[in-house]
Amino acid sequence: MGSSKKHKDKDRESKKKRKHRSRSRSPRDKEKKKRHRERSRSRSPVREEPILVEEYERSRNEESRRSRQEPIPASLPAEANSNLSGEAQVSGDGSSLSIAETNRLRAQLGLKPLDVPETGDGEDSKPKKSEGVHAPAINMGEKKKADKLREKLSTRKEKRNMEKNLLEVKGLGDSDSGDEGAAAWVRKSRKIEKEKELAEKRAKMLEEMDEDFGIGGLVEEEFKREKDQKQAYRSQDLSGLRVEHAMDKFEEGRGVILTLKDKGILDEEQDDVLVNVNIEDDERAEKNIENKKKKPDYKPYDEPQYDEYGMMKPTSMLSKYDEEIEGARKESFMLGSGGSYDAAHEKRMAEIRQQLRAQGQTLQVAAPTIAAEYMTKEEMEAAASFKKVKKKVRKIRKKEVLKADDLLPLPEESAEDNFGSRARGRGRAEPIEEGELPADEGQEDQKPVVDGAATSLDQPVKQEPEDDDMLGPDEDLSNVVIEEDEAQNELQGMLAKARKLKLKKERNRAPEMIEQVSATIKPKSETDAAGNIVLNSTSEFCRNLGEIPTYGLSGNREEERDEIMDMELELMEQRQRQEEQEEITGGWNEVDIDENPVDIKGEETSVLEEEPIAGAGVGAALALAQKKGFIEDEGPKKAPGLSSKYLELQAQNYTIQDKRYDDLDEKNRKRDRYQGGMVTDFKEKDTYKPEVKLDYVDESGRSLSQKEAFRQLSHRFHGKGSGKKKTEKRGKKVEEELLMKRMSSTDTPLNTLSLLQDKQRTEKSPFIVLSGSRGFTSNTISKPS
Amino acid sequence: MLEITCNDRLGKKVRVKCNEDDTIGDLKKLIAAQTGTRADKIVLKKWYTIFKDHVTLGDYEIHDGQNLELYYQ
């Protein structure tokens, strides 16, 4: 180990030494080495690109020779200078070529020559050119410079020329010619005079000559004829001219002056066109208005254009630009022979167009309107007429339906015994006939009679539950008349009378009517007295009063009690009076009402009622259960509409399975599939109003409240129940509820009350001392084990 | 005209004269002519940017006297 370490140390030392040596190498050594490297490099490319390198070698030789022969021009910039000198110095290195060499190389490579900014290069390249080896490099920089200079010169020259021209032009103040002096002017004017004279002389001579030959007359004649011809420019001459206005601009019987339209002097191809200046102005104004309208450019559902024959015109693409591209199109017409134009053709065309239009049918649908909230008069009438028809149909149908009334004709049924119930049911909407009196109907309405046909479902149900309590199921209800108050009856009677009196004034038949009505009223009241039980609302009220179970239980109604007693007594008296009356009239018995008023004072005895004992029998046990809340008291909660009579209407095949909530959907689906519900309405069961009650139970069979049921349903629907904590909480609540129910309703949970009573009994004192004192230390309340 | 120095740091260092509107490909040819390596084996770099053949020196903003790294592929 140790030996190896020593070895390493040695190694390091030797390395150090070497390093040192290398650092200490002299610069001359370096150069030598460089040269050596260069030599080796120059050898290697020979193998790769022999020709290129040969040339390169040669050029370098030349370069070196040249540089030796010619001194470097002074105009060369420092950089290039250094390059060249570098080249000369480090020729062995060969890291940089001269410009010329580079240019040659570039030429071989197919590149353009270098653009050298200096001028001295041209001289450089000359000798090469003579040798025919190297074309002189065009000095791009110089060329550019020269171009620029030339341009500058030319512009300068032009400018000078222009200035010269401007100098030559005379200003307004400058005189024209050289007639500055008065003498010159005089000379000039004289010359002009002379010329004038000469001209006159010549004219005279010519005239003389004309007269000699007789030409003057000829010329005059010619002139005259020409004048005549000009005057004779007629409408015939206008034939073939174009008028550049629409036909409808010209009205019959109105003269319009047309002039030749202006046109360019040079364009001879255009024909002469006649226009009226005013009409042209009008057209322009129209166009301006049209432009101002700012019609939308894009009209996807534009109405199609029709040509003069009523055919649809194919719309060109982007027709809105037509005017801009081709110029405005103008309507025009050509004047026919004789310079006139016949508009008959146009008229015929218009006629044809109209005909075609008449043949066409519009595809436009009437625009939808907002439905009015109120009916118009016409609609009302229509509706009324429709209603009538409907009514008729209904009547027919009604006859088709068989009712229990139709099947069982009552023995004593007569026109008078029809107490209006059927008539009411059938035709309430029917207008009152003339013979009938409204009072009559009112009277009848007040006394609905429960007759033998009361078993039909139509009959009033309101009174049923009370009946059930008192009457046996077999008892005949045929003779029960439910009567309203006497006072009410009287009032109604008076009102009827008043109405009758009013009618009497109006009609002459009135007296008969009164008789008739009185006849109908009287026997009824008699029959009432004869064989029916009268249930009036007062007695009903009193009967119900006795049944209030909680009244006075809390023991805080003592001040009211006397009043109630008084009222009860009064009612008693009233009833007795009634009974007497009834006894006089006939043999019918009143509904059994408890005679004596409710014993309110009897309940005074105990605030805390004693817990009932279950030992006495099943009834007692049930009573206890009810009291404790095991059984719910259903008596008062019983629905008024649900009587023993309708038990048959309740579900016959009612099973607990129907209540199951988890397959409700499936059942519904099945039902939907096989029967699509009722199609026709069930006339027989019109008045049947089933009482629907949905019960939901949880897993343990406990019936759920609405809220709980919803929760369960929701959980089922979402497939996610409430958390563990919440369910626990709810379970605890349910348990508590159960405990509460089981708890004695008359005592505290710790039975303190019974203990208290025990204590009192043993001590025989009406009180108990809670705070401990010497005398009573032994008597403290203690929980029984 | 500008002169560029190209150096692979293995012993070759050349100075090349060229135009500003020469492409890198042209420059490579010139370098190849001077050094004797094949032009298509030359890679010119400046830091991590490899110069592409079809782009001119002017576009790469290579100016006079700049140093390019010379690599071989």
Please identify among residues 68-97 of chain A the ones whose CB lies closer than 8 Å to any CB of chain B.
79, 83, 86, 94-97
| Lowest mean pLDDT, pick from A24-38, A302-316, B6-20 | A24-38
The CB-side HSE value for A389 (13 A sphere, CA atoms) comes to 6
Q: Which is more confident, A706 or A603? A: A706
- At A188, the pLDDT band (50, 70, 90 cuts) reads very high
Topology of domain B2-72, per CATH? Ubiquitin-like (UB roll) (3.10.20)
Q: Sorting pLDDT into bands at 50, 70 and 90, what band is A444?
A: very low
Positive or negative torsion for Cα A372, A374, A378, A384:
positive
Structure tokens at A424: 């009411």
Res A510: pLDDT: 56
> Which spans in A110-139 are helix H?
121-131
3-state secondary structure of A325: helix
User: By CB neighbour count within 10 A (0-12 exposed, 13-18 middle, 19+ buried), where does B34 fall?
Assistant: buried
Residues across chain B: 73
CB within 8 Å: B30 and A49: no
Query: Does the beta-carbon distance from B19 to A112 stay under 8 Å?
Result: yes
- List phi, psi (to 5°) of B42: -90, 140
Pairing relationship of beta strands B12-18 and A533-535 according to DSSP bridges: unpaired
Give DSSP secondary structure letters for A78-112. HHHHHHHHHHHHTTTT--B--HHHHHHHHHHHT-P
| Cβ A124 vs Cβ A158: under 8 Å | no
User: Which residues in chain B have Cβ-Cβ distances shorter than 8 Å to A77?
Assistant: none
Which of the two residues, A400 and A144, has the higher pLDDT score? Answer: A144
* Alpha carbons within 13 A on the beta-carbon side of A629: 10
Residue A24: pLDDT above 60? Answer: no
Q: Which residues contact A719 (CB under 8 A, 6 or more apart)?
A: none
Report the gap between the CA of A96 and the closest CA in chain B (Å). 5
Lookup: tokens for A732: 């605890």
pLDDT-derived band at A666, boundaries 50, 70, 90: low
Quote the mean pLDDT of chain A. Answer: 68
Which of B13, B18, B22 is closest, CB to CB, to A95?
A: B13
Alpha-carbon dihedral sign for residues A423, A424, A427, A429:
positive
The verdict on B19 touching A (C-beta cutoff 8 Å) is yes
Which residue of A109, A142, A143, A144 to mutate against B (max B Cβ within 10 Å)? A109
- How many CB atoms are closer than 10 A to CB A411? 6
CB-based contact A440:A450 (threshold 8 Å): no
- Residue A51 has a pLDDT of 46
Q: Which of A95, A103, A112, A144 to mutate to test the interface with B (most CBs of B within 10 A)?
A: A95
User: What is the rounded distance in angstroms from the CA atom of residue A722 to the CA atom of residue A711?
Assistant: 9
Give pLDDT tens digits for A638-663: 444 445 555 555 555 555 544 555 55
Of B28, B32, B29, B25, the C-alpha closest to B54 is: B25
Predicted confidence (pLDDT) at residue A366 exceeds the cutoff of 60:
yes
How far, in Å, CA of A658 to CA of A655, rounded?
6
Nearest to B70 by CA among B51, B54, B53, B55: B51
pLDDT for position A562? 62
For residue A197, pLDDT over 80 is answered with yes
- Given a cut of 90, is residue A196 above it in pLDDT? yes
Contact B33 A56 (CB under 8 A): yes
Query: Strand (E) positions, A206-319?
Result: 242-243, 259-260, 273-275
Name the 3-class secondary structure at B15.
Answer: strand
pLDDT digits (tens, 9 = 90+) for A550-588: 544 444 444 555 666 677 677 777 777 776 665 555 555
Rounded to the nearest integer, the mean pLDDT of chain B is 90
Stretch B25-41: mean pLDDT, rounded? 89
Q: Does B7 touch chain A (CB under 8 A)?
A: no
Query: Is A152 in CB contact (< 8 Å) with chain B?
Result: no
Residues of B in contact with A114 (CB under 8 A): 1, 17-19
Would you tell me how many other CB atoms lie within 10 Å of the CB of residue B26? 22
Sign of CA dihedral B51, B55, B58, B59: negative
First to last CA, chain A: 95
Q: Among A483-492, A623-632, A670-679, which stretch is predicted with the lowest mean pLDDT? A: A670-679
Contact A137, A125 (CB under 8 A): yes
Residues 6+ apart with CB under 8 A from A141: A115, A116, A117, A118
User: Chain A, 20-59: which have a CB under 8 Å from a chain B CB?
Assistant: 37, 41, 44-45, 48-49, 52-53, 56
B9 has a chain A CB within 8 A of its CB: no
Domain coordinates in residue numbering, chain B:
2-72
What pLDDT, on the 0 to 100 scale, is given for residue A152? 97
Q: What is the DSSP string of A681-706?
A: --STTTT---------B-TT-PBPPH
Calpha distance A103→A112 (Å, rounded): 8
Query: Could you tell me which residue, A118 or A448, shows the higher pLDDT?
Result: A118
Q: Is-above-0.80 flag for pTM?
A: no
Q: Do B17 and A48 touch (CB under 8 A)?
A: no
Whole-number Å distance between alpha carbons of A32 and A16: 24
- Helix or strand run (H / E) with residue A451: none
* A493–B contact, CB cutoff 8 A: no
Tokens of A187: 């000379």
- Asked if the Cβ–Cβ distance from A44 to B36 is below 8 Å, we say yes
Question: How many angstroms separate the CA atoms of A784 and A222, rounded?
Answer: 167
Tell me which residue of A705, A691, A591, A687 sits closest to A638, measured CA to CA.
A691
Interface contact B40, partner A, CB < 8 A: no
User: Chains A, B: CB contacts under 8 A, how many?
Assistant: 61
Q: What pLDDT digit, counting tens, does each position of A55-113 carry?
A: 555 555 554 454 444 444 433 333 333 343 333 333 335 567 788 888 888 888 888 88
**Residues A493-508: tens digit of each pLDDT:** 889 989 888 887 766 5
Least confident stretch, A191-200, A306-315, A316-325, A426-435: A426-435
Q: Decide if A624 contacts A614 (C-beta within 8 A).
A: yes
So what's the ipTM on this one? 0.77
Question: How many whole angstroms separate alpha carbon A197 and alpha carbon A195?
Answer: 5
